Chain A
Amino acid sequence: KNQVEQSPQSLIILEGKNCTLQCNYTVSPFSNLRWYKQDTGRGPVSLTIMTFSENTKSNGRYTATLDADTKQSSLHITASQLSDSASYICVVSEGSYIPTFGRGTSLIVHP
């Protein structure tokens, strides 16, 4: 069964600090991996998308990495801001119409 596991489940950091979120998956065959940011009470918003041949992708202060051999991805947030407080969701697709979503990492940034 395809699975996407995210860690940690929740994370609290101080404003200005960096953090890294992890995503491990067992989806096969692999098509792409996406990271979404979901603010409380809103729909997810795309941050990055990576295919098999890409191992890093940046979007401002967000940098995602992908190791397709070990089936791991990470999302690194640099110089965190209060507005980064949200849930971050890893999504892995096998090319069909049914993606597999992780449960998300809840990030809280304190001033």
Chain B
Amino acid sequence: DAGITQSPRHKVTETGTPVTLRCHQTENHRYMYWYRQDPGHGLRLIHYSYGVKDTDKGEVSDGYSVSRSKTEDFLLTLESATSSQTSVYFCAFGTNTDTQYFGPGTRLTVL
């Protein structure tokens, strides 16, 4: 996986608890993204960032927030996890007009 890691790789949590997923890239790239992938759906964009402290919403942003305090780190937070947020979450860096490089994914289960 091209210079991008995600942690944790697996997490099980309970409804109503806060959850933070971390994405770390070593390529010093300006643009980073969070996606979720569910059966029957293509990857869907949650939030993206175009620089430190510059973030914007994607198509499925409700219930999620993000922060980017350093170029290399992009955090995704579920303020109060719900069962509908059970999914596989992928982080990526790159531009929308060129190749995006994806992390290995985090499998999140909300009970």
In contact, B90 and A103 (Cβ under 8 angstroms):
no
What's the least CB distance linking A4 to chain B, in Å?
A: 7
In contact, A101 and B102 (Cβ under 8 angstroms):
no
- Tell me which residues from 80 to 111 in chain B have a Cβ below 8 Å from any Cβ of chain A: 90, 92, 96-105
Contact check: which of A49, A97, A103 meets B99 at CB < 8 Å? A49
Which B residue's beta carbon lies closest to that of A44?
Answer: B102
CB contact under 8 A between A97 and B56, given known A32-B97, A89-B43, A102-B42: yes
- Tell me which residues from 23 to 46 in chain A have a Cβ below 8 Å from any Cβ of chain B: 31-32, 34, 41-46
Q: Hey, which chain A residues are within 8 Å of B101, CB to CB? A: 46
CB contact under 8 A between A95 and B41, given known A43-B103, A45-B102: no
In contact, B1 and A43 (Cβ under 8 angstroms):
yes
What's the least CB distance linking B21 to chain A, in Å?
A: 14
In contact, B40 and A103 (Cβ under 8 angstroms):
yes
Taken together as a complex, chains A and B put the C-alpha atoms of A40 and B105 apart, in Å, by 11
Q: Does A96 contact B (CB under 8 A)?
A: yes
Contact check: which of B40, B50, B58, B105 meets A42 at CB < 8 Å? B105
A residues near B (Cβ < 8 Å) are 4, 31-32, 34, 41-46, 49, 89, 91, 93, 95-104
